């Protein structure tokens, strides 16, 4: 029953009755098809390149496999006989195609040997035929029972195994040896029940099931199983992503790692798992589907969503747009147009979408070109809307929430297969978004150990796994756009930057840009925001039937796609010197600030920030399709860096300086009252302490300052998201 993918019918006694009734007509038909395949490989030539035989040359240059485009087979065969045979019964005619390729290769080798004077007769080896198609792919959700044994075009990888192609059997009674072919894919061999040896007079006849397998005399090929999962952006809301098992063999083995986006062409087949629950219950009619891969195409890094080819008209339109002096401003105006203001945040998001240039140093060290951005601030400041816009616009994007994400879900997990009991890897969000963007909302709600897990992925852009005997490195070449709230919920100007940005320095240094997004209460700004939001809501119904917005979004996505694949800018000499001087000045300014305040900045300015400005400069150049990042691009990158990360590093107040004698006396009184109410080691709610002291007539801001000063002296400690205060000394 598990051999349905061969297109034959099998009865319970395992006797095979091939389609077509057998006989000489079947043999003649297969021989004719074999000759047609050989003629195609020998004689095919494209109209654009006459007298050039691509498949003949491909066989001579690579004797192990032959990549065939089905479009070429269709154009060569006017009556569509060969393509129809491959589509309707691929498991029967694909081996014929491989036999034809092997025989053609042997003939070509003999011709070459004759021309060079070598008289050795070349042997016929195995040639794997891989197929590719330019037709529109079929969604995984569209594959059903009607596609069984048909050729269709459609995250984890197992270890390589040895798959038998021919099993050598030995009869225990008469020592007769028999070679039995194995079904391709996940199918096994059909063991004959009896020996065909005719017993002589006085010789004991062979019993039923006399065979034993000789593993060392059998023939094997490499085989590997993969798990193909739906793209995250294609999963309907509220449903789990679907996956299907893939079987690859020979030269397709170990060519794919978890996280790779594929379009595969294969034979939709079925098998019965040995350890499945259905097999133990006697459900003989239940089979598991899988796809036997006969060809695959790997999606490009920046083009996993949508085709990689661009028309000549599109390229001319892109270059004409990039030649405009205001191209940078026009692109930034297309970033989240429904959000009012936040111009610098929109420019930073545009830089994140385009990204800098990835570099490989002579010693093999890789420098990332992807840009990481953190938005931290008050609620209702459109942080999540920026994340949703990037998820919709980026070529590859995954949206996740910090509270619902674990370290394994973001990086990778090791899972044991129920049937084979072996461990395999499943890539997480940062592996599946390779070449795109990971949007992490509620970044501050993540557990600290989960945030630590993405340190390597954010800087080295790899994920190292050493679990259950599996030691490997996965690619996670992604940008990270994160949104977070301060510990107290709102950004408090009376607190220091350390207290408002309650994240570790190790994670903050990996963000290229950090924006403090505040909800400023100003009459003119509130009026403008209210007017903008009302206009957005009023025009929403009219825009539902208008395709102009979707066309603009698609154009921006295609332009980002083209810029990332075609443009790889580098800094000019003058821009490099400008950047060097600016970095030195920034370091000196931060050193002066540290000397004045007596404490280090919450966001350190290190070489990582210098590399961040380099990436921002290259992203600005890439928006105008320029291969050189000049002084203007560097100045804009430095301006963005100063208005984001530098402002965040200087944000908040320092409680030790600029205190009047009266204010210092009030703070001292507040400290005395706090110590009177809290013994060493005691816990108390911050809200309760503030309420008690304000009822005594003290100013709440003065009490908060006193708590912050005590916290800096390590006399008190905050716990439970800064809701509980513990006195330490």
CB 273 within 8 A of CB 281: no
Residue after which a domain boundary falls, among 271, 298, 325: 298
CB 433 within 8 A of CB 396: yes
Asked if residue 252 and residue 318 are part of one domain, the reply reads no
- Residue 264: C-alpha distances to residues 156, 293, 327, 593, 687 (Å): 15, 7, 38, 58, 59
Asked if residue 365 and residue 289 are part of one domain, the reply reads no
pTM confidence score: 0.65
Establish if 418 belongs to a structural domain. yes
Residue after which a domain boundary falls, among 298, 325, 351: 298
Strands (E), 101-231: 128-132, 151-153, 156-157, 161-171, 177-181, 211-213, 219-229
- Long-range interactions of 172-176: CB distance < 8 A, separation 24+: 172/210, 172/211, 172/212, 173/197, 173/204, 173/205, 173/206, 173/207, 173/210, 174/199, 174/203, 174/206, 174/210, 176/206
CB 214 within 8 A of CB 126: no
Q: How confident is the model at residue 22, as a pLDDT? A: 42
Asked if residue 164 and residue 129 are part of one domain, the reply reads no
Asked if residue 178 and residue 94 are part of one domain, the reply reads no
Cα-to-chain-centroid distance, residue 140: 18
CATH code of residue 47: 3.30.1640.10
Establish if 199 belongs to a structural domain. no
Asked if residue 221 and residue 109 are part of one domain, the reply reads no
Asked if residue 188 and residue 331 are part of one domain, the reply reads no
Task: Give burial (CB, 10 Å; 0-12/13-18/19+) of 129.
Answer: buried
Q: How many CB atoms lie within 10 A of CB 111?
A: 12
DSSP symbols for 27-45: HHHHHHHHHHHHHHHHH--
Establish if 200 belongs to a structural domain. no
Establish if 145 belongs to a structural domain. no
The maximal CA–CA distance of the chain, rounded, in angstroms, is 123
Q: What is the DSSP letter of 620?
A: H
Asked if residue 501 and residue 379 are part of one domain, the reply reads yes
| Structure token pair of residue 210 | 């006399």
Establish if 58 belongs to a structural domain. yes
CB 173 within 8 A of CB 204: yes
Establish if 655 belongs to a structural domain. no
Asked if residue 215 and residue 329 are part of one domain, the reply reads no
Establish if 487 belongs to a structural domain. yes
Asked if residue 251 and residue 167 are part of one domain, the reply reads yes
- Structural domain boundaries, residue 706: 661-727
Q: How many CB atoms lie within 10 A of CB 9?
A: 12
Q: What is the DSSP letter of 539?
A: T
CB 454 within 8 A of CB 471: no
- Residue 639: C-alpha distances to residues 85, 139, 145, 646 (Å): 63, 45, 59, 10
CATH code of residue 219: 2.40.50.140
CA atoms of 210 and 360, how far apart (whole Å): 61
Residue after which a domain boundary falls, among 626, 650, 674: 650
| Angle, vertex CA 356, rays to CA 351 and CA 361, nearest 5 | 165
DSSP symbols for 460-528: T-EEEEEETTEEEEEE---EEEEEE--TTSS--TTSBHHHHS-S-HHHHTT-SEEEEE-----HHHHHH
CA atoms of 199 and 595, how far apart (whole Å): 102
CATH code of residue 675: 1.10.10
Asked if residue 461 and residue 589 are part of one domain, the reply reads yes
Asked if residue 270 and residue 170 are part of one domain, the reply reads yes
Measured N-to-C along each axis, helices 90-116 and 81-88 cross at an angle, to the nearest 10 degrees, of: 130
Asked if residue 645 and residue 666 are part of one domain, the reply reads no
- Number of structural domains, the chain? 4
Q: Identify which of 175, 178, 179 has the alpha carbon closest to the alpha carbon of residue 206.
A: 175
Establish if 279 belongs to a structural domain. yes
Residues in the chain, pLDDT under 70:
1-28, 111-125, 136-142, 144-165, 183, 185, 187-189, 201-202, 232-234, 237-238, 257-259, 272-286, 299-309, 417-420, 492-499, 540-553, 594-602, 651-660, 721
């Amino acid at each position: 029953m598990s051999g349905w993918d061969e297109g034959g019918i099998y009865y319970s006694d395992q006797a095979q009755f091939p389609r077509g009734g057998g006989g000489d007509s079947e043999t003649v038909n297969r021989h004719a098809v074999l000759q047609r395949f050989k003629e195609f490989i020998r004689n095919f030539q494209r109209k654009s390149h006459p007298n050039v035989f691509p498949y003949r040359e491909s066989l001579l240059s690579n004797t192990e496999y032959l990549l065939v485009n089905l479009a070429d087979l269709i154009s060569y065969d006017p009556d569509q006989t060969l393509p129809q045979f491959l589509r309707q019964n691929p498991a029967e005619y694909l081996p014929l195609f491989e036999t034809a390729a092997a025989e053609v290769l042997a003939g070509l080798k003999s011709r070459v040997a004759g021309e060079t004077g070598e008289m050795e007769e070349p042997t016929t080896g195995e040639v794997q035929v891989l197929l590719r198609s330019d037709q529109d792919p079929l969604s995984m959700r569209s594959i059903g029972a009607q596609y069984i044994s048909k050729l269709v075009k459609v995250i984890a990888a197992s270890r390589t195994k040895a798959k038998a192609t021919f099993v050598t059997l030995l009869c225990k009674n008469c020592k007769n040896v028999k070679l039995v072919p194995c079904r391709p894919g996940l199918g096994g061999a059909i063991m004959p029940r009896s020996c065909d040896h005719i017993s002589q007079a006085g010789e004991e006849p062979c019993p039923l099931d006399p065979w034993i397998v000789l593993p060392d005399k059998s023939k094997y090929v490499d085989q590997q199983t993969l798990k193909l999962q739906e793209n995250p952006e294609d999963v309907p809301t509220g449903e789990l992503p679907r996956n299907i098992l893939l079987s690859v063999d020979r030269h397709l083995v170990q060519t794919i790692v978890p996280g790779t986006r594929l379009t595969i062409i294969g034979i939709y087949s079925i098998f019965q798992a040995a350890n499945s629950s259905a097999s133990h219950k006697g459900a003989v009619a239940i089979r598991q589907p899988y796809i036997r891969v006969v060809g695959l195409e790997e999606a490009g890094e920046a083009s996993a969503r949508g085709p990689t080819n661009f028309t000549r008209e599109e390229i001319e339109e892109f270059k004409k747009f990039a030649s405009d002096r205001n191209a940078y401003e026009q692109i930034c105006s297309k970033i989240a147009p429904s959000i009012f203001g936040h111009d610098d945040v929109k420019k930073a998001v545009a830089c994140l979408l385009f990204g800098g240039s990835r570099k490989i140093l002579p010693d093999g060290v890789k420098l990332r070109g992807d840009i990481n951005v953190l938005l931290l601030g008050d609620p209702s400041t459109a942080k999540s809307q920026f994340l949703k816009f990037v998820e919709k616009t980026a070529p590859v994007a995954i949206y996740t929430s910090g509270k619902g994400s674990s370290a394994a879900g973001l990086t990778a997990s090791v899972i044991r297969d129920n049937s084979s009991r072996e461990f395999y890897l499943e890539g997480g969000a940062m592996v599946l978004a390779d070449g795109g963007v990971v949007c992490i909302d509620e970044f501050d709600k993540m557990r600290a150990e989960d945030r630590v897990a993405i340190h390597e992925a954010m800087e080295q852009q790899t994920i190292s796994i050493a679990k259950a005997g599996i030691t490997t490195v996965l690619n996670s070449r992604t940008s990270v756009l994160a949104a977070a709230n301060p510990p107290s919920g709102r950004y408090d100007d009376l607190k220091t930057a350390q207290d408002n940005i309650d994240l570790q320095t190790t994670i903050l240094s990996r963000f290229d840009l950090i924006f403090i997004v505040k909800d400023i209460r100003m009459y003119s700004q509130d009026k403008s925001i209210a007017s903008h939001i009302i206009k957005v809501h009023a025009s929403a119904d009219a825009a539902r039937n208008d395709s102009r917005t979707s066309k603009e979004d698609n154009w921006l996505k295609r332009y980002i796609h083209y810029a990332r694949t075609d443009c790889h800018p580098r800094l000019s000499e003058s821009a490099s010197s400008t950047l060097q001087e600016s970095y030195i000045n920034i370091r000196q300014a931060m050193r002066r600030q540290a000397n004045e305040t007596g404490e280090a900045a919450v966001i350190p300015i290190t070489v990582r920030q210098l590399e961040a400005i380099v990436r921002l400069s290259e992203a600005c150049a890439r928006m105008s399709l320029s291969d050189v990042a000049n002084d203007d691009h560097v100045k804009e990158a430095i301006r963005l860096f100063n208005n984001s990360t530098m402002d965040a590093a200087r944000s908040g107040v320092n409680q030790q300086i600029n205190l009047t004698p009266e204010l210092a006396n009030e703070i001292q009184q507040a400290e005395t009252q706090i110590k009177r109410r809290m013994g060493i080691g005691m816990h108390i709610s911050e809200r309760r302490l503030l309420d008690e002291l304000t009822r005594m007539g003290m100013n709440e801001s003065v009490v908060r300052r006193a708590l912050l000063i005590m916290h800096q002296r390590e006399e008190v400690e905050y716990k439970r998201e800064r809701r509980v205060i513990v006195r330490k000394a």
